[in-house]
Amino acid sequence: MPCDATRSFDKIGNLMSKICLSTDLASPPGGPYSQIVVHGDVAYLAGCTPHRPGSGEFVGGGFDEQARRAFDNLQALASAAGTDLANALRVTVYLKDMGNFPAMNELFAQYMGAQPPVRTTLPIDLPGFEIEIDAIVALS
């Protein structure tokens, strides 16, 4: 869902644009919002859930399968912005069951690289799935 670029300025008065991007390589948005917003040298990635790219079909199964799909969707958004999760600055993970924290932590380490971002993990009553992840990523 593309959006019109809007005008904004950096700290020293240089014009910067807000650019909205989307990709079919991640699950489609669940509402009227952008998958990716790029502003300056930063990409803001919308929350990714365990839904398949294209169809938006829910990925059933256990936590591991759902979490991998959510992380893969997040990586697809980062790729569409021209970067990857190794450049993540901040990640928020929403878990339906905090008992899945150790499994999520292992996957997080696999996807985020040697210099992981700051992270907040919150228990949330998600509607029918186990995990959602969003991120702020530096452009490479």
DSSP codes joined into one string, 52-97:
-TTT--B--S-HHHHHHHHHHHHHHHHHHTT--GGGEEEEEEEES-
Buried b (16+ CB within 10 A) or exposed e, 24-58: eebbeeeeeebbbbbbeebbbbbbbbbbebeeeee
Mean pLDDT within 17-43: 93
Residue 16: predicted pLDDT: 72
CA distances from 13 to 5, 6, 47, 50 (A): 17, 15, 31, 41
Residue 2: predicted pLDDT: 44
Domains of the chain: 6-138 (3.30.1330.40)
86 or 5: which leads in pLDDT: 86
Residue 8: predicted pLDDT: 53
